[in-house]
Amino acid sequence: MTNYTYIQYIDDVINKKIPTGHLVKLAVQRHLNDLETGHRRGLYFDKKAAEDVIDFISSLNHYAGKLAGLKIKLEPWQQFILAMLFGWKRSDGTRRFRTGYLSVARKNGKTTLSLAIALYLMLVDGVPKAENYFVSSTKSASAFYLSRAIYMVNRPKFVCKNHTITDTWTKSQLISIGAKTRPTSLDGINPHGVVIDELYNHQSSRLWDVSRFAMGNNKQALLFATTTAGIYRNTFCRSIDDYISMILDGTVEDDSCFGIIYTLDDKDDDLYEANWIKSNPNLGVSIQKLHLRDMRKERELFKVKHLNIWPD
């Protein structure tokens, strides 16, 4: 039986039982505010839907490393993200969030979570012949991760061909493409889900825009992106990061977009080890403090990639 830890995570963040940056606190507070007032905007939280996706992903296997073959154990912060993305609904029963964004330091399990979400959209979401896309830095990288996704499910009815996984039971597909795929080559797509691993690798908004517009006829469609900060500020990814920050601080209202950003606050000392968990919620799980101590010698790159801080 799955241990649902996202509710405790909400309490721990709000009551400062675990160190988190103010943007994470704002994401959690947004959920609590909407529980009180969301009904005025036709929104409600479906606890069963939230826990269904947690159950499914908890049934998947790790695909590499020392944990290969073992069941995925979702950390409380990961459960929280899944609960928000899939638990919040509109009055017609469709999902509230059509766009999701996670920014977190490297080695915190972004790719595994991304693949798991893509598999859920493909296999469990109840849409027959669902067309889903997994986007990584290059087409070959996407295809590599797609091949790993097969090991996560242990499903005998998968057919893998031409960078595409097809489930012969549901007829749904998961298709791998690269960040530099020409948008014109995606004309005519009808995506139910688009999952992007490392949005920072996208030099422009073209693929993002094509995906969003193509989802227009699908009420349950989801565009979900993960990333770590990059060394250049003037990028499309940074513009999305800024937009999420404005949603969280209340400058912009967008009920269709979920976002959470794990980073240090401006006043935080980046060399103070107790602060590192703010950017690394998987500290002690998939990323170790000893590794961070070694990497901090390269101060500027350490701040960007391991503390998820955009340069000034």
Residue 231: is its pLDDT beyond 90? yes
pLDDT for position 7? 97
- The reply to whether 311 falls in a domain is no
For residue 300, with 0-12 CB atoms within 10 Å meaning exposed, 13-18 middle and 19 or more buried, which class applies? exposed
What residue type is 254 in one-letter code?
D
Q: Is 112 a domain residue?
A: yes
pTM of the full structure:
0.96
Which pLDDT score, from 0 to 100, does residue 243 have? 98
Does the pLDDT of residue 147 top 90, yes or no? no
| Average pLDDT estimate for 174-199 | 86
Q: What is the pLDDT of residues 203-227, one digit of tens each?
A: 889 889 999 999 988 889 999 999 9
Q: Which residues contact 208 (CB under 8 A, 6 or more apart)?
A: 196, 199, 202, 223, 225, 236, 240
In this prediction, residue 204 carries a pLDDT of 86
pLDDT level of residue 235 (50, 70, 90 thresholds): very high
CB contact at 8 A, 76 and 6: yes
Angle at 259 between CA 207 and CA 302, to 5 degrees: 85
Share of the chain above pLDDT 90, in %: 76
> Quick check: 179 pLDDT over 80?
yes
Within a domain: 168: yes
**Is residue 1 domain-resident?**
no
Range of the domain at 20: 6-306
Burial 253-277 (b: 16+ CB within 10 A, else e): eebebbbbbbbbeeebeeeeeebbb
Instruction: Look over the chain and give the mean of its residue pLDDT values, rounded to a whole number.
Output: 93
Q: Which of 8-17, 26-35, 213-222 has the lowest mean pLDDT?
A: 213-222
- Written as six digits, the tokens of 117 are 């979400």
pLDDT computed for residue 143 by the predictor: 83
Q: What is the pLDDT confidence band of residue 69, given thresholds at 50, 70 and 90?
A: confident
Tell me if 224 is assigned to some domain: yes
pLDDT tier, 184 (very low <50, low <70, confident <90, very high otherwise): low
Query: In the numeric block, which tokens belong to residue 2?
Result: 């799955």
What would the mean pLDDT of 140-145 be, rounded to a whole number? 85
131 occurs within a structural domain: yes
Residue 156 pLDDT: 67
Would residue 180 count as lying in a domain? yes
Q: Name, in order, each residue with C-beta under 8 angstroms of 275's C-beta and a sequence gap of 6 or more.
A: 19, 264, 268, 269
Let me know if residue 120 belongs to a domain.
yes
Using the predicted structure, report yes or no on whether residue 287 has a pLDDT greater than 80: yes
For residue 185, pLDDT beyond 80: no
What is the domain-level CATH number for residue 129? 3.40.50.300
Cα 39 to Cα 34, 148, 284: the distances in Å are: 8, 41, 39
pLDDT at 260 over 80: yes
Q: Which comes out higher in pLDDT, residue 137 or 41?
A: 41
Residue 159's DSSP bridge partners are: 166
Q: Of 275 and 218, which is predicted with more confidence?
A: 275
Rounded distance, CA 87 to CA 95, Å?
Answer: 7
Cα 82 to chain centroid, rounded: 8
Report how many domains make up the chain.
1
- Position 183 scores a pLDDT of 66
182 has pLDDT over 80: no
The answer on pLDDT for 1 being more than 80 is: no
